[in-house]
Amino acid sequence: MTQAIRDHKKLILTLLSGALLLILAVVYIFPFFHMFSTSLKTFAEANMMPPKLLPEEPQFQNYAEAWDSMNVLHYLKNSVIITGCTIIGQMFVCVPAAYAFAKKQFRLKKVLMPALLFDLLVPAQIVFLPIYVIVSNAGLLNTYRSLVMPFLYSAFTIFFLTQSFRTIPDELLDAGRMDHASEWQIITRILIPSARSVIITVALFTFVGKWNDYFWAKVLTTDETVRTLPMAVSGLLSVGDGMIHWNVVMAGNVFLFAPMLIIYLLANRSIKQAFIYGGIK
């Protein structure tokens, strides 16, 4: 009887867990489904209340209209340049910094680490005015550098990498020093290969944050020649006859979302490994 009761409770818990996961999956996936569905609707269907889940006939011309209105290739080029430079530069800055926090002893380490943790709690918008003033005084407004240089430092990236680097045995690094490897060689030949999955994961987080960045592009640029894809998508809200064509706006959002989906699918395995084998402990 006792075993039967336990099996019954286990079955109930399994069913409840499955139901909860299903609800969470629907809640998470529905906005993406709505985006794709709306991007294929007519103007009337996109503004229908209550909304229809699926269009009667897919309107693929919405993508052509969004493509022409946004000048996608121009803004895509800007987004690729800015996002790529930010990721590469951030790795050059944050990997050595995380190595120092994880494996070195130096003055002010006990002060800087709490400061780093505090920085994780500070929204970037709080410091936008000092950053704007510095960038403006340096004459960097409306340049690629204004959207890259202030973001080469990331408290999240340093903290995440520090936690991972701490799991790498010191004996492995000492073996490199015995072979007369420099500190830079230890980083590039031992540390980075050992934490490859974690580095790919934080690079992906940086990519998503920078690729979707609207705030800083709005604050630090006024010239369309250096603005990014999120700014182009926002421009669709004011295109046309004074009414918002949500079907075209959603088609523009698909252009913005597609590269993230592709890169996530390519890096999915590395993300799983990072969380399983020591990304966060």
**Confidence at residue 241, expressed as pLDDT on a 0 to 100 scale:** 63
**Confidence at residue 280, expressed as pLDDT on a 0 to 100 scale:** 45
Mean pLDDT of 259-266: 86
**Low-confidence winner among 58-67, 212-221, 234-243, 258-267 (lowest mean pLDDT):** 234-243
**Confidence at residue 76, expressed as pLDDT on a 0 to 100 scale:** 93
Residue ranges of the alpha helices (H) in 71-214?
Answer: 72-103, 109-120, 128-137, 155-165, 170-178, 183-186, 192-194, 196-211
Whole-angstrom distance, CA of residue 36 vs CA of residue 240: 21
Rg (CA), the chain: 24
Dihedral (CA of 107, 113, 114, 119) sign: positive
Percentage of the chain exceeding pLDDT 70: 93
279 confidence band (pLDDT: 50, 70, 90): very low
**Confidence at residue 123, expressed as pLDDT on a 0 to 100 scale:** 83
Whole-angstrom distance, CA of residue 270 vs CA of residue 169: 21
pLDDT surpassing 80 at residue 5 = no
Confidence (pTM): 0.84
**Confidence at residue 36, expressed as pLDDT on a 0 to 100 scale:** 92
Mean pLDDT of 119-146: 89
Give residue-wise pLDDT tens across range 160-187.
999 989 988 989 888 888 888 888 999 9
**Confidence at residue 263, expressed as pLDDT on a 0 to 100 scale:** 87
237 confidence band (pLDDT: 50, 70, 90): confident
Mean pLDDT of 140-169: 92
Whole-angstrom distance, CA of residue 221 vs CA of residue 144: 9
281 confidence band (pLDDT: 50, 70, 90): very low
Give residue-wise pLDDT tens across range 12-66.
888 888 899 999 988 989 999 989 999 999 988 888 888 888 888 888 999 999 9
Phi and psi based region of residue 71 (left: phi greater than 0; alpha: psi -120 to 50; beta: remaining): left
